Amino acid sequence: MSKRSSVDPSMSGSRWQRLSGWVWGLLRDAGELVLPQTCVCRLCRRPLPAPPLPFACYVNDLYACLCRECIHSLAWVQPPLCPQCGRPWRHGGLCRFCLRRRHVLQGCSPLVYTGAAQELVRELKFRAVCELGRPLGYIIGAMVRSAMPDWEPQAIIPVPLHADRLAARGYNQAELLSQGVSHFLKKPLLHQALLRTRHTQPQSALSVTERVKNVHAAFHVPHPAVVANKRLLLVDDVHTTGATVHAAASALWHAGATTVRFATLAVAANTADLSER
Partner 1 sequence: MSRYFLWAAQQGIILSGCSYLPAKLDVERVPIKPIFYGITPEPAVELRFSAGKPLYLLSAEVPLWLAQLLLSMAKPRFQQAAVGCWQRLYFQARVSYLRRRMQSQLLNWEYIRPPAPRVLRSADMHAGDWECCAAMPTPELTSAVLEALKARRLLESELETALARLGAVYDGQLRVLLHHLVLHHILQRESAIALNSYGRLHCRRCGSDRIHWAWCAKCGSHCPFCGDCRNMGVARGCSALYSLTPQMQAHTARHVQAVPKMNLPFALSSAQAAASEQIVSAMRQGAKEITIWAACGAGKTEVVYAAMREVVGRGKRVLLLTPRRDVTAELYARLQGVFGADYVVGLYGAAESNYQASPIMVATTHQAIRLDGAFGLVVLDECDAYPYRTEKMLQNAVGRLARQGGCFIQMTATPSPLLRRHSSRLVYIPARHHGHPLPVPNVLQDTGLRLWRTPEMTQSLPPCPESVIEALIRSRREKAQLLIFVPRRLLVAPLVEALRQVGVERVAGVHSGSENRDEIRTAFKEGQLEAVVATTIFERGLTFPQVNVAVLLAETRQIFDNAALVQMAGRVGRTTTRPQGSVWFTCVQPSQAMRQAIEDIVTLNEMAARAGLLASGYVDVAPGKLKPGEQRGIGDVQA
Interface ranges with partner 1 (CB under 8 A): 1, 3-5, 7-13, 17-19, 21-22, 24-25, 44, 69, 72-73, 127-131, 166-172
Q: What secondary structure letter does DSSP report for 275?
A: T
Helical segments of the chain, H only: 2-5, 15-34, 58-63, 68-73, 96-100, 115-126, 133-147, 163-169, 173-185, 208-215, 224-227, 243-254, 271-274
- Least Cα distance to 121 among 237, 267, 270 occurs for 237
Quote the least distance from Cβ 60 to partner 1, whole Å.
19
- Partnered with residue 266 across adjacent β-strands are 111, 238
Query: Closest CB to partner 1 among 96 and 169?
Result: 169
| Number of separate helices (H) and strands (E) present in the chain | 13, 7
Query: Closest CB to partner 1 among 10 and 275?
Result: 10
Quote the least distance from Cβ 43 to partner 1, whole Å.
10
Q: What secondary structure letter does DSSP report for 203?
A: G
CA–CA distance, 249 with 257 (Å, rounded to integer): 9
Query: Closest CB to partner 1 among 29 and 150?
Result: 29
Quote the least distance from Cβ 35 to partner 1, whole Å.
16
Q: What is the 3-state secondary structure (H, E, C) of 131-167?
A: HHHHHHHHHHHHHHHHHCCCCCCCEEEECCCEHHHHH
What is the end-to-end Cα distance of the chain in Å, rounded?
62
Query: Closest CB to partner 1 among 23 and 228?
Result: 23
Within its chain, how far is the Cα of 272 from the centroid? 26
Quote the least distance from Cβ 20 to partner 1, whole Å.
8
Q: Who's near 212: CB < 8 A, 6+ residues apart? A: 241, 243, 246, 247
Query: Closest CB to partner 1 among 66 and 98?
Result: 66
Query: Closest CB to partner 1 among 42 and 239?
Result: 42
Quote the least distance from Cβ 203 to partner 1, whole Å.
20
Cβ contact 211:171 at 8 Å: no
Query: Closest CB to partner 1 among 12 and 207?
Result: 12
Q: Is the peptide bond before 80 cis (omega within 30 degrees of 0)?
A: yes
Quote the least distance from Cβ 172 to partner 1, whole Å.
7
Quote the least distance from Cβ 109 to partner 1, whole Å.
23
